[in-house]
Amino acid sequence: MAGLERVNRELFPLRDISSVVQLFTDEVEKSSEPDLALLSIVGGAVENSLTCHRSPVMKDAPVETDDDSGGEFEIEYHIVDALYSQFRSIILGSVDLSAYGDSKYATRELVKKVSDVIWNSLSRSYYKDRAHLQSIYSYLTGNKLDCFGVALAVVAGCQVLGFNDVHLALSEDHAWVVFGENGGETAEVTWHGKGNEDKRGQPIGTSVGSLSWLYVNGQPVICDRYMEVTALVSSINPSFNMTTDIKEVADFQQQLMWMLYDRGYLQRYPMALGNLGDLEEINPTSGRPHCSDLFSQAVDASRKFYNNQHVYPYTYQGGYYFRQKMYKEALGSWANAADVLREYNYSRDDEELYKELMDIANELIPHVMKAVGSGIDAHSILKDPECFAHLLRLYDGICQWEEGSVTPVLHIGWAKPLVNTIAKFDASVRAQLVIDLQDDLDEEHSSEKEDKNSSRSGTADSGNMEKTEEPSKVGDNLNNNNYTKALESDSAQS
Ligand SMILES: FC(F)(F)Cc1cc2c(N3CCN(c4nnc(C(F)(F)F)s4)CC3)ncnc2s1
């Protein structure tokens, strides 16, 4: 049954955010499942009308516009109805259901067919990373979708065909679908990254590739219809250009996210909690949890539902602390992010995460060292052994990420900022370092990476190094090898 009959036509034409929020609220509160195609079309229409021909407000100083220069959009019912019918007819017209048996559950062939229908109707060549390509509105009006948008459109297409077992599966940098009687089947439906052959139709690899962050060690966010609405709302993009956001779109997204949050649809979705935290940091909603609570809820959700295998909750949180100049807490979050990495092998599919860690290690931390180096910070980081421990835990986690990986992670570009950073810490702090040598340390080094999923999940927690029967005071050793000379010469230069 076409979703539009049930839509409250009095809301149209949609002229303000509250009417669009009402439409989304009606959809998630109605007895049957929310209609993904309808919501993606409406959300995309609002986003595109406000970001693609507007007078922008500066990203870091959203000005309250008393006139309605910011909020002007008008979405007519007949436009939404036409686009919705167009999507339905594309899907229903291309898929001959009789060819897929009479099972009420989707088959791999059916999922692949829907993916082909979307895939083959995309423009030949366009800049895939551009903003505003995530919605079915973009697909219908511009034949363009980004990687996430293709996956969402496939799930929406399967919903049109009546296969409500097909759901979105999300890692931190990829999307695929689950389907079948108990959702036990998986299938690639979109591409990933640049220059990689797509694997559409194939199940998610169980090979060594599945030890890469890209598939989050078998801990993806498996969506139900409501979490799929959360994913499409979370993918709303308020950017006008690299430096400017459209405040009305951010407000629109924020209000939708709180509506979904109140219904529990962000509870098992760490990145959505992180996105809402970012929005709240920029523009706090009175009476709502503080953004730092949302970042903590994202961390807790990853620990509770995903075996702490997600990295982004810690980098969302670390980024927040960094912006608030809470540098010790930032180092702690970044070290916790690196603890997650230990479980993974670095693979060429993990570039996005590599860039994130490069930025932390080689841009943000040097910035912290400069900021505290000028002595303004009384309880200086540089005299605090726990900060030093966080820093070492961060780098040790990156090293362990590299261990057993076919692709190296670290290179000289990492070593120079590292040496500089360590050199900034007081010698007295470095001398306090006691390395906790586990008895089985040498066995661990010889064991294959496969053991990663076994014993290592209990890695160092807050970096407190306990005394063991054979402590080796690294501080002393530092003074009689060329490592120290490197430190001294380097610090002499800086
Ligand atoms: F589907 C893919 F392939 F696109 C993978 C997904 C990404 C993503 C997301 N993102 C990606 C991470 N992202 C981040 N923004 N800041 C981040 C941090 F580095 F600060 F942690 S991570 C923005 C929102 N937000 C909600 N859901 C998803 S599903």
| First-to-final CA distance of the chain | 69
Residue 400's pLDDT band (boundaries 50, 70, 90)?
Answer: very high
How confident is the model over 395-407, as a mean pLDDT?
93
Q: How far apart are CA 73 and CA 16, in angstroms?
A: 7
Ligand 1 centroid distance, CA of 230 (Å): 13
Residue whose CA is at the smallest distance from ligand 1 atom 11: 172
Q: Flag whether pLDDT at 487 surpasses 50.
A: no
What residue's CA is closest to ligand 1, atom 20? 316
C-alpha span between 234 and 217 (Å, rounded): 23
Distance 271 CA to ligand 1 centre (A): 6
CA of 209 to the centre of ligand 1 (A): 21
Residue 268 has pLDDT above 60, yes or no: yes
**8: its two tokens:** 């409250």
Instruction: Tell me what the mean pLDDT of segment 248-271 comes to.
Output: 98
C-alpha 266 – ligand 1 centre gap (Å): 14
CA distance 28 to 24: 6
d(CA 126, CA 150): 14
- Pocket perturbation via mutation, ligand 1, pick of 312, 341, 353 by most ligand atoms within 8 A of CB: 312
Tokens 């594309």 label which residue? Answer: 90
Q: How far is the CA of 493 from the centre of ligand 1 (A)?
A: 39
Q: How far is the CA of 277 from the centre of ligand 1 (A)?
A: 13
What spacing in Å lies between the alpha carbon of 302 and ligand 1's midpoint? 14
> Which among 129, 127, 174 is positioned nearest to 349, based on CA atoms?
174
| Lowest mean pLDDT, pick from 98-102, 231-235, 479-483 | 479-483
Task: State how beta strands 472-473 and 221-222 pair.
Answer: unpaired
Q: Is the pLDDT of residue 207 over 50?
A: yes
pLDDT tens digits, 145-185: 999 999 999 999 999 999 999 999 999 999 999 999 999 99
What is the identity of the amino acid at 186? T
User: Is the pLDDT higher at 65 or at 399?
Assistant: 399
Q: Predicted confidence band at 75 (pLDDT cuts at 50, 70, 90)?
A: very high
- pLDDT at position 484: 36
Reduce the secondary structure of the chain to three states and give it as a string: CCHHHHCCHHHCCECCHHHHHHHHHHHHHCCCCCCHHHHHHHHHHHHHHHHCCCCCCCCCCCCCCCCCCCCCCCECHHHHHHHHHHHHHHHHHHCCHHHHCCCCCCCHHHHHHHHHHHHHCCCCCCCCCCCCCCCHHHHHHHCCCCHHHHHHHHHHHHHHCCCCCCEEEECCCCEEEEECCCCCEEECCCCCCCCCCCCCCCCCCCCHHHHCHHHHHHCCEECCHHHHHHHHHHCCCCEEECCEECHHHHHHHHHHHHHHHHCCCCCCCHHHHHHHHHHHHHCCCCCCCCHHHHHHHHHHHHHHHCCCCCCHHHHHHHHHHHHCCCHHHHHHHHHHHHHHHCCCCCCHHHHHHHHHHHHHHHHHHHHHHHHHHCCCCCCCHHHCHHHHHHHHHHHHHHHHHHCCCCCCCCCHHHHHHHHHHHHHCCHHHHHCCEECCCCCHHHHHHCCHHHHHCHHHHCCCCCCCCCCCCCEEHHHHHCCCHHHHHHHHHHHHC
Q: Determine the distance separating the centroid of ligand 1 and the alpha carbon of 112, expressed in angstroms.
A: 25
pLDDT digit string, tens, across residues 284-332: 999 999 999 999 999 999 999 999 999 999 999 999 999 999 999 999 9
The interface predicted TM-score of the complex, written ipTM, equals: 0.99
* Closest residue by CA, ligand 1 atom 13: 271
Reported as a pLDDT band with limits 50, 70 and 90, residue 101 is confident
Q: How confident is the model at residue 52 (pLDDT cuts 50, 70, 90)?
A: confident
Site to probe by mutation for ligand 1, drawn from 170, 219, 230, 296 as the one with most ligand atoms within 8 Å of Cβ, is 170
Which pLDDT score is estimated for 435? 79
Of 34 and 60, the one with more pLDDT: 34
Closest of 108, 118, 117 to residue 201, by C-alpha:
108
Ligand 1 atom, smallest distance to 272 CA: 26
Task: Give the residue, by CA position, lying nearest to ligand 1 atom 9.
Answer: 271
Q: Which two tokens stand for residue 421?
A: 């950073």
Spatial neighbors of 481 by CB under 8 A, at least 6 apart, are none
Residues contacting residue 271 through CB under 8 Å, at least 6 positions apart: 170, 172, 221, 234, 298, 310, 312, 313
The token pair at 32 is 């049957």
Nearest CA-CA partner of 274 in 262, 285, 286, 261: 261
Q: Which is the closest atom of ligand 1 to the Cα of 170?
A: 29
Residues in the chain: 494
Q: Relative to the CA of 231, which ligand 1 atom is closest?
A: 27
Pocket residues: Cβ below 6 A from ligand 1: 147-148, 170, 173-175, 231, 234, 271-272, 274-275, 312, 315-316, 319, 356
Mutation test residue for ligand 1: of 275, 340, 353, the one with most atoms within 8 Å of CB: 275
Distance CA 21, CA 116 (A): 33
Give me the residue label for tokens 């979105």.
168
Mean pLDDT of 219-224: 98
* Ligand 1 center–CA 190 separation, angstroms: 16
Measured in Å, residue 281 CA sits from the centre of ligand 1 at 17
